[in-house]
Amino acid sequence: MLQVQEIRTNKTAILEALKKRGGDYSINIEKALALDSRRKAIQTDLENLQAESNKISRTVGELFKSGQKEYASKIRARSSEIKMQTKQLSSDLEDCKIQLQEYLYKIPNVPNEKVPFGTSEEDNKEIYRGGKTPNSPSESNPHWELAKRYNLIDFDLGNKVTGSGFPIYIGKGAKLQRALVSFFLDRNTEAGYTEYQPPLLVNEASGYGTGQLPDKEGQMYYVGEDNLYLIPTSEVPITNIFRACILKKEDLPIKCTAFTPCFRREAGSYGAHVRGLNRLHQFDKVEIVRVEHPKKSHQALDEMVSQVKSLLEQLELKYRILLLCGSDLGFTSALTYDFEVFSATQKKWLEVSSVSNFETFQANRLKLRFRESDGKTYLAHTLNGSALALPRIVAALLENHQTKEGIKIPKALVPYTGFEWIY
Per residue in 291-315, pLDDT (tens digit) is 999 999 999 999 999 999 999 999 9
Any binding-site annotation on 352?
yes
Q: Looking at residue 79, what is its pLDDT?
A: 82
Q: Is 384 annotated as a binding residue?
A: yes
**Can you give the pLDDT at residue 281?**
96
User: What pLDDT does 273 receive?
Assistant: 60
SS3 of residue 68 by DSSP: coil
Coil, helix or strand at residue 118: coil
The answer on pLDDT for 86 being more than 80 is yes
Rounded average pLDDT over 274-298: 96
Using 50, 70 and 90 to split pLDDT, how confident is the model at 268? low
Per-residue confidence band for 271, with pLDDT thresholds at 50, 70 and 90: low
Percentage of the chain with pLDDT > 70?
97
73 in a labelled binding site: no
pLDDT band (50, 70, 90) for residue 56: confident
Look at residue 373 in the predicted model and tell me its pLDDT: 92
Residue 189 and residue 292: Cα distance in Å, rounded? 18
| Over residues 179-208, mean pLDDT | 98
pLDDT tens readout for residues 382-398: 999 999 999 999 999 99
- CB neighbourhood size of 265 (10 A): 16
Helix axes 172-190, 297-314, angle to 10 degrees: 140
pLDDT at 267 over 70: no
Tell whether 356 is in a known binding site: no
- Per-residue pLDDT averaged across 240-254, rounded? 97
pLDDT digits (tens, 9 = 90+) for 91-107: 999 999 999 999 999 99
Between CA 96 and CA 46 the distance in angstroms is 13
From residue 87, alpha-carbon distances to 57, 84, 90 in Å are: 17, 5, 5
Helices (H) and strands (E) in the chain, counts: 13, 18
264 annotated as ligand-binding? yes
Same topology for domains 4-105 and 121-422, yes or no? no
Three-class SS of residue 192? coil
Distance of CA 252 to the CA centre of its chain: 20
Is 287 known as a binding-site position?
yes
Amino acid identity of residue 108, one-letter, is: P
Domain regions of the chain by residue span: 4-105, 121-422
Q: Which CATH superfamily is domain 4-105 in?
A: Serine-tRNA synthetase, tRNA binding domain (1.10.287.40)
Residue 30 known to bind ligand: no
Q: Are 231 and 263 in contact (CB under 8 A)?
A: yes
Where b means 16+ CB within 10 Å and e means fewer, 344-379 reads: bbbeebbebbbbbbbbbbbbbbbebbbeeeeeeebb
Q: Pick the closest to residue 121 from 320, 270, 323, 279 (CA basis).
A: 323
Nearest to 238 by CA among 260, 267, 216: 260
Would you say 303 is a known binding-site residue? no
Q: Is 354 annotated as a binding residue?
A: yes
Phi, psi of 268 (to 5 degrees): -70, 140
pTM of the model: 0.93
Residue 68's pLDDT band (cuts 50, 70, 90):
confident
**DSSP symbols for 212-263:** -TTTTGGGS-EETTTTEEE-SSTHHHHHHTTTT-EEEGGG--EEEEEEEEEE
At residue 266, the pLDDT reads: 72
CATH number of 121-422: 3.30.930.10
Q: Judge whether residue 269 has pLDDT over 80.
A: no
- Residue 233 marked ligand-binding: yes
Which amino acid, 152? L
